Amino acid sequence: MNSLIDGVINLNQHGEQMSESCSCGDKAEVNATVKLHCKTCASVIEKFVVKKPLKAAGLAAILAYSSSSFIGYAITDNRYPLEVEYAVLEACTNSHKKPLSYSLYGSKKKLCLCALEDTMNEISYVRFKVNEKGFLKAFEGNAKECK
C-alpha cells in the first residue's frame, strides 16, 4: 500500500512526477506547515510542520476518508428499518398468551427494547436479512441477559 501512496502522492497537480531537487541542482529541503482549523470560526485547532508535505497530506486524506467511512458505518449500520424494529418489538411484547397487567406490560416492553438494542448492536441489518435464525437466537440470549 505504501508504494501505491508514493505513486499517487509523488505526482503534482498536472500529473507530472515531482522532484525534490531545486532548479539550482541542490536537493531541496521540503517543509510545509499543516493547520487544522474549525470550519465555523476558523480558529486553529492543531498546527504541525512536516518534511514531506505531499506524503503527509495524502496519508492524512486517506486516514480521514477511511475513519469517516468507518464512523458513518458504525453510526448508521446498527439501525434496522423502522417497520422491522416495530414488528420485532410488537412480537416480543405481545407474545404472552394471557393478558398482562399494566406494570408487567411496561416491564416486558423495557426488556424487549433492551434485547432489541443489544441485538442490533451485535447483528447488522444485512446479517439479519441473511440469517434470521441467528438474529432470533441472539435476541433470545440478549433478552435473558436484560432481565
Residue range 52-94, pLDDT digits in tens: 556 666 667 666 666 666 566 555 556 889 999 999 999 999 8
Strand partners, 17: 11
Same domain, 6 and 68: yes
Q: How far apart are CA 136 and CA 143, in angstroms?
A: 10
Structural domain boundaries, residue 6: 2-73
Same domain, 49 and 6: yes
Q: What is the pLDDT of residue 100?
A: 85
Task: Count up the domains in the chain and report the number.
Answer: 2
Point out the residues of the chain with pLDDT beneath 50.
Answer: 1-13
Question: Could you identify the residue written with the cell 420485532?
Answer: 88
pTM for the whole thing?
0.48
